[in-house]
Structure 1
Amino acid sequence: MTGPPGAGKTTLARRLAADLGRPALHRDEIFAGMDTGDMNRTYEVFFATIRLFVEAGVSHVAEAAFQHPAWARGLVPLLEQADVRILRCQTPPAVTERRIARRGKTPVSRPFEPIHLDVPTLDVDTTDGYAPDLPTLTAFAIS
């Protein structure tokens, strides 16, 4: 699951993982739990955990605000082993800015390049609920 900051990734990832009965892996939680606060190390741990889950046959939901190059670098080596499905969360910039401001943070103004790999991909509008709806997203994740 991907999208820019404030797009609703974490909330949706938690709901989807609960509906699927699968673990959820959140890049921000890994970062928060690391003593070093090193974003590069967080990236390495995030993808090492995905690799471990894939090799152990553990279906899971992984979410991060990585842009295409970072996702591609981590996921492409796993495509032969994993059945990857991508949900790209999106919402209008004004909505993401309000969500980020509610967290007490300052929005970052930079273009966001969504992941675009040759795998099943679904765009999700998280502005007011989910479009498509959660049952459709759940069905997509397990199809």
Structure 2
Amino acid sequence: MREPVTGAGLRAVAESSHDHPSPQTSTRNEGLAGTRPVGKPTRCRRPGDRYNRTVTSRPTLVVVSGPPGSGKTALAHTLARTIGAPAICRDEIKEGMVHASTSTSGLFTAGAADELALRTLPTFFGVLELLLRAGVTTVAEAAFQDRLWRPGLQPLGEVAELRVVHCVVDANTAWTRIQRRWESNPLRRAHADLQNPTDHPLRHASFDRVALDAPLLEVDTTDGYQPSLPEIVSFVDKTR
């Protein structure tokens, strides 16, 4: 059994440690892994740095668009579940803002350019950019019309592969869906898509679909999906 070190023995150990410091605690750069000169600052890495070093392929941004009532939200969530990706929906972001901004029912009045609609746009694009720069393939859904949405979508093509899925349906079917949605879902009060029915056919026909330099697939959602869901998945998911 080793006897405890006391008195002069302790002083000898302390002096020996001082004269011969351990390599693990050395402050000099002697070529040992994990050591650096005293005073040299450690660089703070941004969240995207590690992704840029380890991921060689870019994520995919699936842009699901179409006029109100065209079935784009249902398709976006179905695609997201199928390929294993988040679905970021513009209307759902606004509904969350309404939930946080009103404490009494009826305080918020939706309009084409109401305060929350204006706040939703930068929030939507900010979330998309955050996910894509982290290497997350993402499904984005909104009524993307060219003049308003292309300036925000186009720069995302620098960090992601773009795929555009445009939903189409006739004006009568779209209007029936809009009415049914308003009757069954109180959250639709956050949006201004239920307008004068006599103006709906013109608004539907004049929908200015977003024009991006990216592959585009048109999907008829009148009765199921044409082309079929597996064909849509094959179009948007480059790993399949």
TM-score by length of 1: 0.94
Secondary structure at the aligned position of 2:210 is classed as coil
**Distance (Å, rounded) in 1 between the aligned partners of 2:237 and 2:209:** 22
**Distance (Å, rounded) in 2 between the aligned partners of 1:78 and 1:70:** 15
**Distance (Å, rounded) in 1 between the aligned partners of 2:149 and 2:164:** 11
Query: For residue 26 of structure 1, what is the amino acid of its counterpart?
Result: C
**Distance (Å, rounded) in 2 between the aligned partners of 1:102 and 1:78:** 34
Match status 1:3 vs 2:66: yes
Give 1:70 shift: 2.1
Counterpart position of 2:211: 116
**Distance (Å, rounded) in 1 between the aligned partners of 2:88 and 2:228:** 22
Unaligned runs of 5+ residues in structure 2 are 1-63, 102-114, 183-193
Counterpart position of 1:19: 82
Counterpart position of 1:129: 224
Counterpart position of 2:157: 79
Secondary structure at the aligned position of 2:75 is classed as helix
**Distance (Å, rounded) in 2 between the aligned partners of 1:21 and 1:70:** 29
Give 1:78 shift: 1.4
Query: For residue 89 of structure 1, what is the amino acid of its counterpart?
Result: C
**Distance (Å, rounded) in 2 between the aligned partners of 1:103 and 1:75:** 28
Deviations 1:33-77 (A, max 9, x none): 114561111011000111111111100111001211222111111
**Distance (Å, rounded) in 2 between the aligned partners of 1:39 and 1:112:** 18
Query: Given the alignment, which residue of 106, 127, 134 partners 1:49?
Result: 127
Which stretch shifts more, 51-60 or 27-36? 27-36
Query: For residue 129 of structure 1, what is the amino acid of its counterpart?
Result: G
TM-score by length of 2: 0.57
Query: For residue 116 of structure 1, what is the amino acid of its counterpart?
Result: A
Higher relative contact order (CA 8 A, sep 6+): 1
Number of residues of Structure 1 aligned to a counterpart in Structure 2: 143
**Distance (Å, rounded) in 2 between the aligned partners of 1:78 and 1:14:** 21
**Distance (Å, rounded) in 1 between the aligned partners of 2:95 and 2:85:** 21
Seq. identity, %: 46
Give runs of ≥4 in structure 1 deviating > 4 Å.
Answer: none
**Distance (Å, rounded) in 1 between the aligned partners of 2:176 and 2:221:** 13
Deviations 1:96-143 (A, max 9, x none): 011011123445632200111110110000000000100000010112
Match status 1:39 vs 2:124: no
Unaligned runs of 5+ residues in structure 1 are none
Counterpart position of 2:112: none
- Flag the structure with larger Rg: 2
CA RMSD, Structure 1 to Structure 2 (Å): 1.4
Counterpart position of 1:60: 138
